[in-house]
Structure 1
Amino acid sequence: MNQRDRDQMQFSKRLQQARKNKGYTQQDLADTVNTKKTTISNYETGYSTPSNKMIVELANALDVTTDFLLGRIDSPKKDESPSLPILDTNELWTELKNLDNEDVILLNSLIKRLKKNKYDS
């Protein structure tokens, strides 16, 4: 068995696992991504391979990542990193004015390090 076949088998298993975890039948998933039940069955048996666009649609419908379906990561969960609150300029200025000198030096050092890392990568 070559690598392509192994990848297809893994995709098929992961698709079926994600579908069942979501509580969907093949028909439910087919309806969600606007295709036929037989198409989903073919993906799950490895008989056919979905397009890249369809892989994205399947992942979105099943609340998993494309990387999970493709076997690149083991966790099916989408990264749900909390978004950082965005301060408007006035709020930021008010916060900065309230810092003591030591904190300003530390903040300045942190900003320089962040900029350096951003432009070095």
Structure 2
Amino acid sequence: MDALGFSENLRVLRKNKGFTQKDLSDKIGVALSTVAMWETGSRRPGYKTAQRVADTLDVSIDKLLQDEALSGGEYLSENELYSRITPKTRNANHDLLEIREVLRTRPEMKMLFSVSKGATKSDIERAVAIIEALKKDRG
């Protein structure tokens, strides 16, 4: 992550949204000084925190983290950005789209996902074993 691009992007996107540094810090649950350090480039957030920032500002993580600052300069074309995405990221995105489609079209899968949110790893492993046994019995 380019610290200068991120810092400038954060400042511009935050202001475009009409948020003060304090507003943003409250919304994402970090100290005001943390947001200030991000904007000066003296610190950078971890990926999960950067994702929370992007979600709060209603932008993609790519837009928040792009190397070229949003306030000016040359932008990468969509094709250039896509070419920089690793195959692993493309596969992960494909998997997420597939999961989203299944959850959208199969209410029973959405229900299964919903009830599993608070489940432990052990609970999930047991549920998977039960489902696999049911599928095996069907035949």
Q: The TM-score by the shorter chain falls in which range?
A: 0.5 to 0.7
Which of 16, 38, 54 matches 1:59?
54
Which residue among 67, 71, 85 is the counterpart of 2:66? Answer: 71
Number of equivalences: 73
CA RMSD of aligned residues (A): 2.5
Say if 2:5 and 2:67, in contact at 8 Å, map to a contact too: no
Name the SS for the 2:30 alignment partner: coil
Aligned equivalent of 1:25, options 2, 14, 20: 20
Cα deviation code 1:61-117 (max 9, x no counterpart): 000110001116859xxxxxxxxxx99xxxxxxxxxxxxxxxxxxxxxxxxxxxxxx
1:1-121 paired onto structure 2 within 5 Å: 7-71=2-66
Displacement over 3 Å in runs of 4+ = 72-75
Q: Tell me the CA shift for residue 40 of structure 1.
A: 0.2
How far residue 31 of structure 1 moved from its aligned partner, in angstroms, is 0.2
Structure 2: 5+ residue runs without aligned partners? 69-74, 77-103, 106-139
> Which protein is bigger by CA-based radius of gyration?
1
Offset of 1:59 from its aligned partner?
Answer: 0.2
> 2-side partners of 1:69 and 1:49: how far apart?
12
Q: Which has the higher contact order (CA 8 A, sep 6+)?
A: 2
In proportion to residue count, which structure has more helix? Answer: 2
Shift of 1:54: 0.5
CA distance in 2, matches of 1:40, 1:65: 18
Among all aligned residue pairs of Structure 1 and Structure 2, give the percentage whose two residues are the same amino acid.
38
TM-score (norm 1): 0.55
